[in-house]
Amino acid sequence: MVSFCIKPSFLKQAAIILLTKEQVQEKKFSFSDKQMVDLLESAVTAMQFEGARSEIFPVVVDKKVILFIGLGKAADVNLTALRVVLRRGLLSPNLRKLRSIEIVLHEDSVQIAQAAVEAVVIGTYAWKKYITRKKDDQSVDIKEYAIVTHHGQKAHQAAIVAEGVNFTRDLINDNADTVTAEALEKTVRDLVKNVKGVDLEVLGRKEMESKGLGLILAVNQGSNKKPRMVIVKYSGAGKDAPYTAFIGKGLTFDSGGLNLKPGGSMETMREDMSGAAAVIGTLKNILTLKPKKNLILAFGAAENAIDANAYKPGDVLKSYSGKTVEIGNTDAEGRLVLADVLSYVIRNYKPARIVDMATLTGACVVALGHDYAGVLGNNDDMIKNLLVSAKATDDRAWPLPMYPEYKEAIKSKIADIKNTSNVRGAAGTICGAEFLHQFVGETPWVHVDIAGTAFVDGDSHWYYGHGATGYGVRLCTHYLLNN
Q: Looking at the annotation, which residues are catalytic?
A: 261, 335
Tell me which long-range contacts 94-98 makes (C-beta under 8 A, separation of at least 24).
94/14, 94/56, 94/58, 94/65, 94/67, 95/14, 95/65, 95/67, 96/138, 96/139, 96/140, 97/138, 97/139, 97/140, 98/13, 98/14, 98/65, 98/140, 98/143
Bridge-based pairing of strands 417-418 and 100-104 is unpaired
Q: How far apart are CA 273 and CA 56, in angstroms?
A: 38
Q: At what angle do helices 473-482 and 152-173 cross, to 10 degrees?
A: 140
Q: How many CA atoms lie within 13 A of 289 on its CB side?
A: 25
Q: How far apart are CA 336 and CA 395, in angstroms?
A: 26
First to last CA, the chain: 30
Question: 100 — phi, psi (to 5°)?
Answer: -110, 130
In terms of Cβ atoms closer than 10 Å to its own Cβ (0-12, 13-18, 19+), residue 347 is exposed
Q: How far apart are CA 386 and CA 112, in angstroms?
A: 22
227, β-bridge pairs: none
Q: At what angle do helices 152-173 and 274-289 cross, to 10 degrees?
A: 150
Question: 256 — phi, psi (to 5°)?
Answer: 95, -10
